[in-house]
Chains A and B, each alone.
Chain A
């Protein structure tokens, strides 16, 4: 099975852990006020330190494009872009996501080259995994603007679909890459 954004997310977490100063930053266990930069806007909320970025987005705010499926960094349905990198938002704590830009699918217009390509190639059925795929595609294309089919198969290996839409997704990612050539940020 391919490994894509999962490994990326885990890597980010490790680097964060090393960089974090220890005792001075202790917060909780009760709810604490935090500020998240979501799609370019600062948003204030109060959550327990154990709350994941995914739960903060979905339950404490109302960004529900990212889905809670495996909740353990396996399926990619919760993919968002944190400081320019795809991450599984179920595997990042909300308090750790402060100070960096968080891009969710709500930050994209309904008509955007990636979502449109997914529609064009019928790369969705129930659609529950689709927002995660779209954001993973955005993160992937930022690093691989001219992917081959093999690149796509490896790069999107961190997202799972149960309806079986991969044939469409493969084509959609290639078309999105083509349509985004020259465009800066999808």
Chain B
């Protein structure tokens, strides 16, 4: 067909499955413990591999002797990663790996490897920039407008110091894979956010053609941005497999190593000044920030965040290298830091001039790229949090337990990634939907099935779905909240394309032209004369025995055809109580107003926002990678002292999905990241509002709160 088919979404009121809330289709198998994650796999003759890692923050290997490990009964392969002379830059860096018939033997053999190190000086804490010395690298100053004049002319200037620490992804399923390398063929079962791209990244390291690397993954136990690449462990696992005559090797990080090296969110610290008028108008911004994401340093968060058009700004940033594990993308990279630094500083400016921050955020909304959207959301968030009733000016509270409210904003692009779906319709009426994508727990399986069923006029149960295999049509990487937009749009297009072929087969029997047909409620019928109808099965039989229709549809990032877009905004309010005697911060209620586009499944979209907020509350109250200056060690590489929020710790969460026709017309917009951005900012602001003084550093732990209350901030 020469003309581009109409791929557009059905109108809101005509949708039968999209926009409804079917339960996630892989729910039963997961909730009954039958879902097989990669870390659950077991194959015949499979070996278990583990690492020996560096116990020092900075050291050079002077000798390594693996002979005793190699002689251990049950050990099938030993691989040295750090030969003598190799300099290691963080605790947990890989030194050697062992593959053995059982976990127990592998651990025993690792204990028998003898390594001697020359211990070298380390630097592990970036919080105090004055101590960084040569480890800090300044980026050039960036100036817009005339900040000097603006600060000079200002009616009010606020300033503050803020810090948001390194946190680790702490995926419950650690990083790793099962991998088998035989001759020039590699079979791999990774735990990855990018099934389609995994082989291409690993291939050059093994010097095996990507076409020879088969990748399969059914379920993944968390990624949050840290599981895109195969990681060093895939290559090491493959080499162990090769050394062990091609036996499959399962290599997963143990919990300590997972927290040390598998990824983290970089820190960000800053001294920030805001100038403005007494009516709340901000006129200038100045920030001196620094950050670290490990030995490679840490980039500058996008400042000022959301309020990007503040006319006069001066920005300086220093990237600090520390001897600690490397960062990975973390659910909205750099945005949490930026939101925290910006929203904290705006709250402090509001307090300085004695204004309600809700008014100040609103008054300056003209500096944001979506003024109307933010104003609408601020109002909605104020309403849902009972702001006008519960908010009190900073410092006006007395008593041991003080309540406070704080707010934060978020923004995220999140347009659909490039990917291709294939829909096959068989003469027996069965339908197969395929894509080499992955379901991180976001509900990709469910939403793809919804879209296919809606498009073909079928029930979800009539669609068989295959994902998680790199022999399928290419999926994208599940990052940037782009999966829902991409996979839904590609599925829609594949469905429309497949239907066009089916209509060609069925049209003669209905005495109509193919373009006059529609597929509705399990029938194929003439649009203008619905009495001329045949069942789905009868229509499919017209394909003819032995035939089948197999059509693809691709989402193109640059031309999403209105099916998806990016640019979601959000406003959140934290309502907390702070016990000024113990320093404990309790979340009473957390309100998340989230701008969205077309919502395919409100149940799953709401779960995404709950999840984002809960993860955020966990980082706002508990999480911090604690580094010891003296030893260079991470003090809490476990789940007892690296604390995650539990079921009791999160208060009540109120989600407002902004489902309106005006937003629906924007197409599908990903939701995984934007609602995860502002929680540290909102909670920090609420604490400041409650106790009357800024606690500079996240997390809002008893120690940080009490230090501030008792004047012990450095």
Interface positions of A (Cβ within 8 A of B): 1-2, 48, 50-51, 55, 58-60, 62, 64-72, 74-75, 77, 104-106, 108-112, 115-116, 118-120, 122-131, 134, 152-154, 156-170
B172-A126 in contact (CB<8A): yes
Q: List 21 A-B contacts (CB under 8 A).
A: A1-B622, A69-B639, A70-B255, A108-B32, A124-B27, A125-B441, A125-B442, A125-B611, A127-B26, A128-B172, A128-B221, A131-B31, A159-B647, A161-B172, A162-B170, A163-B441, A163-B615, A164-B611, A165-B610, A166-B647, A169-B647
B residues within 8 A CB of A60? 102
B104-A162 in contact (CB<8A): no
If over half of A's interface residues share one DSSP class (helix, strand or loop), that class is named, otherwise mixed; here it is loop
A126-B28 in contact (CB<8A): no
B28-A168 in contact (CB<8A): no
- Per-residue CB contact flags for chain B residues 624-659 toward chain A (1 = under 8 Å, else 0) read 000000000000001110011111111001000000
B23-A120 in contact (CB<8A): yes
Known A-B contacts A1-B648, A128-B172; A118 and B615 likewise in contact (beta carbons under 8 Å): no
B647-A129 in contact (CB<8A): no
Q: Say which residue of B34, B255, B647 sits within 8 Å of A72 (CB atoms).
A: B255
Known A-B contacts A48-B104, A58-B40, A70-B639; A127 and B171 likewise in contact (beta carbons under 8 Å): no
A72-B254 in contact (CB<8A): no
B32-A110 in contact (CB<8A): yes
B residues within 8 A CB of A67? 37, 39-40, 172-173, 221
B646-A2 in contact (CB<8A): yes
Whole-angstrom distance between the alpha carbons of A161 and B441 in the complex?
Answer: 12
B residues within 8 A CB of A66? 33
Max chain A C-beta neighbours (<10 A), residue from B30, B36, B603, B622: B30
B residues within 8 A CB of A106? 33-34
A154-B40 in contact (CB<8A): no
CB distance from B615 to the nearest CB of A (A): 5
Q: Say which residue of B28, B647, B649 sits within 8 Å of A110 (CB atoms).
A: B28
B residues within 8 A CB of A159? 646-647
B462 adjacent to chain A (CB < 8 Å): no
A residues within 8 A CB of B649? 1-2
Known A-B contacts A110-B29, A118-B27, A162-B171; A128 and B222 likewise in contact (beta carbons under 8 Å): yes
CB distance from B695 to the nearest CB of A (A): 20
Whole-angstrom distance between the alpha carbons of A59 and B39 in the complex?
Answer: 10
B647-A168 in contact (CB<8A): no
Whole-angstrom distance between the alpha carbons of A71 and B107 in the complex?
Answer: 14
Known A-B contacts A59-B48, A128-B172, A162-B170; A64 and B40 likewise in contact (beta carbons under 8 Å): yes
B440 adjacent to chain A (CB < 8 Å): yes
B234 adjacent to chain A (CB < 8 Å): no
Whole-angstrom distance between the alpha carbons of A55 and B252 in the complex?
Answer: 14
B42-A75 in contact (CB<8A): no
A115-B255 in contact (CB<8A): no
- Per-residue CB contact flags for chain B residues 134-168 toward chain A (1 = under 8 Å, else 0) read 00000000000000000000000000000000000
Max chain B C-beta neighbours (<10 A), residue from A115, A156, A168: A115
Known: A1-B648, A160-B644. 9 other contacts (CB 8 A): A1-B622, A62-B42, A70-B638, A71-B254, A110-B28, A124-B441, A134-B32, A159-B647, A167-B610
A residues within 8 A CB of B172? 67, 69, 75, 77, 126, 128-129, 160-162
A124-B31 in contact (CB<8A): yes
- Per-residue CB contact flags for chain B residues 335-376 toward chain A (1 = under 8 Å, else 0) read 000000000000000000000000000000000000000000
Whole-angstrom distance between the alpha carbons of A66 and B604 in the complex?
Answer: 25
B268 adjacent to chain A (CB < 8 Å): no
A72-B32 in contact (CB<8A): no
Whole-angstrom distance between the alpha carbons of A177 and B569 in the complex?
Answer: 39
B31-A51 in contact (CB<8A): no
B residues within 8 A CB of A166? 610, 614, 645-647, 650
Known A-B contacts A48-B104, A119-B27; A1 and B643 likewise in contact (beta carbons under 8 Å): yes
B220 adjacent to chain A (CB < 8 Å): yes
B173-A122 in contact (CB<8A): no
A1-B646 in contact (CB<8A): yes
CB distance from A68 to the nearest CB of B (A): 8
B35 adjacent to chain A (CB < 8 Å): yes
A residues within 8 A CB of B611? 125, 163-165
B residues within 8 A CB of A134? 31-33
B639-A127 in contact (CB<8A): no
Known A-B contacts A122-B23, A122-B604, A130-B31; A156 and B647 likewise in contact (beta carbons under 8 Å): yes
Max chain B C-beta neighbours (<10 A), residue from A50, A66, A74, A112: A74
CB distance from B711 to the nearest CB of A (A): 28
A residues within 8 A CB of B23? 119-120, 122
Whole-angstrom distance between the alpha carbons of A106 and B611 in the complex?
Answer: 27
Within 8 A of A (CB), among B23-67: 23-24, 26-37, 39-40, 42, 48
A residues within 8 A CB of B42? 59, 62, 64
A residues within 8 A CB of B640? 70, 72, 74
CB distance from B671 to the nearest CB of A (A): 13
- Per-residue CB contact flags for chain B residues 64-108 toward chain A (1 = under 8 Å, else 0) read 000000000000000000000000000000000000001110000
- Per-residue CB contact flags for chain B residues 387-412 toward chain A (1 = under 8 Å, else 0) read 00000000000000000000000000
A residues within 8 A CB of B650? 164, 166-167
Whole-angstrom distance between the alpha carbons of A134 and B42 in the complex?
Answer: 23
Max chain A C-beta neighbours (<10 A), residue from B28, B32, B34: B32
A170-B31 in contact (CB<8A): no
Q: Say which residue of B37, B219, B639 sits within 8 Å of A75 (CB atoms).
A: B639
- Per-residue CB contact flags for chain B residues 433-470 toward chain A (1 = under 8 Å, else 0) read 00000001110000000000000000000000000000
Whole-angstrom distance between the alpha carbons of A165 and B23 in the complex?
Answer: 14
Top 9 nearest A-B pairs (CB, nearest first) are A65-B33, A164-B614, A128-B221, A125-B441, A127-B30, A126-B441, A164-B611, A105-B33, A131-B33
